[in-house]
Amino acid sequence: MSAVRLGRQSRIAIGLATLIGLASFLWPLIAAPESAAVAHASDAPLLFAVILPILLLVVLAQVSDGGMDAKAIAMLGVLSAVIAALRPLGGGTAGLEPIWVILILGARALGPGFGFALGAISLFASALLTGGVGPWLPFQMMAAAWVGLGAGLLPARIGGRREIAMVAAYAAIACIAYGFIMNLWFWPFVGSLPEQLAYVPGAPALDNLLTWLRFCLVTSLGYDIPRAVLTVVLIVVAGRPILGALRRMARKAAFDAPVRVPAEVGS
């Protein structure tokens, strides 16, 4: 059971953000030969201008749906700050980034809408903290939001060791998928690549898809596998106590409890 439920308006907002994100990532595979594709370095500010209001819309939609109150927003801020503080510890060295443990477990404990917002906000906050603001940031925010969303959508009625095994398996897939999809933001503009790895404008989508997969296997797995291994190990070792602590916090916060205004004495 998610501590922060996902209502109808939240689903619509997240769906809109996902459609925009998919279009931003996948245009190299679907762009027509005559399309005037420009580097993301120039259109990233425009993407920021689209993603940030939609992210705010996601949070406001959850507030409107009654799924997120002031206590949930405070927890969102706390976990985002933890992720932002952890990110410099890994620094991306060989893909070793401990932030995914907090994101995935936080989303698992608190729900898909919370996980979506946590992924995007925490990557934005960590970029401000580390000076990592650049054309890649809106894509990192969207990809991390999807990781949190997926963790929150995992089957709820699984607990104990089976839950940890499920979350660890998801983490392994998500960490590798994050690296693969992040390659899409810059791969079309990498020069001097061998023909087998180079993006070909206007080529059939399937051909460019296979070329992108080869590019990821050759250049990305050296970062993605260590990221996945570290995340899986940390979840196996510390997943149960972290999930337990997050769920206890959620119960004490009583996110689902209705707000009751006491009647005046003598009324």
Structural domain boundaries in the chain = 8-253
- Which helix (H) or strand (E) is 205 found in, with range? helix 205-219
**Model confidence, pTM:** 0.85
CB 140 within 8 A of CB 123: yes
CB 2 within 8 A of CB 120: no
Tell me how far apart the alpha carbons of residues 161 and 151 are, in angstroms, rounded to a whole number: 16
- What is residue 218's predicted lDDT score, i.e. its pLDDT? 93
Mean pLDDT by 10 residues, the chain (267 residues): 70 87 83 54 63 77 72 88 85 73 95 91 87 83 94 90 96 96 89 89 88 94 92 96 90 59 46
DSSP count for the chain of H helices, then E strands: 9, 0
- What is residue 236's predicted lDDT score, i.e. its pLDDT? 97
**In 3D, which of 235, 248, 227, 141 has the Cα closest to residue 177?**
227
The CA R_g of the chain, rounded to the nearest whole Å, is 20
Pick the CATH number of 8-253 from 3.40.50.450, 1.20.970.10, 3.40.605.10, 1.10.1760.20: 1.10.1760.20
Residue 182 CA, distance from chain mean position: 12
